[in-house]
Structure 1
Amino acid sequence: MTPADRPEASAPQPVRILLCDDHAVVRGGLRALLGSAQGIEVVGEAGSGEEAIAAARKLGPDGLDLVLMDLQLGPGMDGTEATRRLVSLPGGPRVLVLTTYDTDADITRAIEAGAIGYLLKAEQPEELFSAVHAAAAGRTALSPPVAGRVMAQLRGQRPALTARERDILGQLARGLGNREIARALFISEATVKTHLGRIYAKLGVETRSGAVAVAKEQRLLP
């Protein structure tokens, strides 16, 4: 077979995007910006979470890859709830958050809702294009400031308990009282009470059962 006889390689499928933002001017700007990028096609727009879900259902998994989602959408469903419902659809699209809000609470809620990425509107166009392709391919896409906040949250998830505090927490999980813990660890009851106070403060709880529950949730027990 000569080169002329060989079939031409088909062009890669563009990333098909649905824009969800309650400001028409913003959607228009994004459509124009994304339309200038290679390998990206805007297939729809939505001004609310409800509209985004309806559009995603209409386009189906064969017509939509990614939703570019704002968090604040005016009256009705917010972007976090819309994200949760979109990713729950059969064959639902991936969701990349694009917003001006970068608080820890906003980031955490969006990621827990199923967003594959979190981008700030202050990013350069090239960063947006890269994030779109990464998110469509199933890779996490985070703005640098957001990535820093996520890492800080992860580092702060596990309280820094001392070895003795971990020992006492383990005895607490067994249901032992202060006197029994003191005997098991060969320390005084007063020392046990002091350590328990520090454990409660580090875990952000006020009761023995609360300490055990948080310890199990954060895998602090042996």
Structure 2
Amino acid sequence: MTYPHDEAPALTAPARSAPARVLLIDDHALVRDGMRMHLSQQPGLEVVGEADDGEAALAWLANLDESRRPELVITDIGMRGMGGITLAGALHEHYPELAVLIVSMHDNLEYVRQAVRAGARGYVLKDAPADELLAAIQAVLAGRVFYSARIARGMAAQTVGPLDALTPREREILNAIGRGLANKEIAAQLGVSVRTVETHRLNLKRKLAIDGRAGLVKYAVQQLGTDAEGN
């Protein structure tokens, strides 16, 4: 079940021409209510919908005109029905332009890694300060990755390479780029639109901290060679 908010405050931040549209997903109505009230007070954010599980969120998005889609999805992990990690994977597959932020009570680093591999751009703990949530929202909307301070310390203590943050689809596209395929060829091979491939390319450059098309192609070719040597 979804709960659209057509009359939510539409406050505009100086850096944006319109508020960033947000979809909230949590199976606890009180949590959604509290988060909606908090976010609706923030300039530049507009809560446009709610859902109590992943299936409801996907159904709502499927019936929504592209021009009205949210730019940010905030979801819990553990919910009745489809959980947040599975949802993040589905959103990344069908709507790769959407930023997904996990807000969870679980600080298990394996959950964090699974969420990032599924396509989430950020992971914030529910007991984190309110300003940390706002910082996370700002970061993921700008295309960056954000972790709660406690999560970030745990991740820093482990050796994690940049490829560990890529989703399976991003790895497929990186591999295709390394093989010299153009966007149209990749799109046809994977059964997606050229625009979707372009969005994945942008996400790859962000995650890998690579500037420019040539830099991404060079990295992809090098990585392809590394994988071949490893095999």
TM interval, shorter chain, is 0.5 to 0.7
Q: C-alpha displacement at 1:137, in angstroms?
A: 1.6
Q: C-alpha displacement at 1:152, in angstroms?
A: 2.2
1:118 equivalent in structure 2 = 123
Match for 2:132: what amino acid? E
- Asked if the contact 2:16–2:44 (Cα under 8 Å) also holds between the matched residues in 1, the reply is no
Q: C-alpha displacement at 1:92, in angstroms?
A: 4.5
Q: C-alpha displacement at 1:90, in angstroms?
A: 4.2
Q: C-alpha displacement at 1:149, in angstroms?
A: 1.8
Distance 1:78 1:33 in 2: 23
Distance 1:88 1:60, change over 3 A: farther
Match for 2:72: what amino acid? L
Match for 2:73: what amino acid? V
Q: C-alpha displacement at 1:60, in angstroms?
A: 4.7
2:79 equivalent in structure 1 = 73
1:204 equivalent in structure 2 = none
2:217 equivalent in structure 1 = none
Q: C-alpha displacement at 1:102, in angstroms?
A: 0.9
2:114 equivalent in structure 1 = 109
Distance 1:29 1:82 in 2: 22
2:151 to 146, 150, 158: 146
CA RMSD of aligned residues (A): 2.5
Distance 1:89 1:153 in 2: 31
Secondary structure, aligned partner of 2:37: helix
Distance 1:59 1:134, change over 3 A: farther
The one-character-per-residue Cα deviations of 1:104-162 (angstroms, maximum 9, x if unpaired) are 211111011010011111122222112112111211111111112222232599xxxxx
Distance 1:115 1:11, change over 3 A: closer
2:63 equivalent in structure 1 = 58
1:14 equivalent in structure 2 = 19
- Asked if the contact 1:17–1:44 (Cα under 8 Å) also holds between the matched residues in 2, the reply is yes
Q: Which runs of 5+ in 1 are unaligned?
A: 1-8, 158-215
- Asked if the contact 2:122–2:140 (Cα under 8 Å) also holds between the matched residues in 1, the reply is yes
- Structure of larger gyration radius: 1
Distance 1:148 1:59, change over 3 A: farther
2:99 to 94, 97, 105: 94
Q: C-alpha displacement at 1:62, in angstroms?
A: 2.7
1:4 equivalent in structure 2 = none
Normalising by the residue count of structure 2, what TM-score does the alignment of the two structures yield? 0.60
Distance 1:93 1:10, change over 3 A: closer
After TM superposition, list the pairs within 5 Å mapping 1:125-140 onto structure 2.
125-140=130-145
Distance 1:141 1:39 in 2: 19
* 30-39 or 56-65, which deviates more: 56-65
The percent identity for this pair of structures is: 36
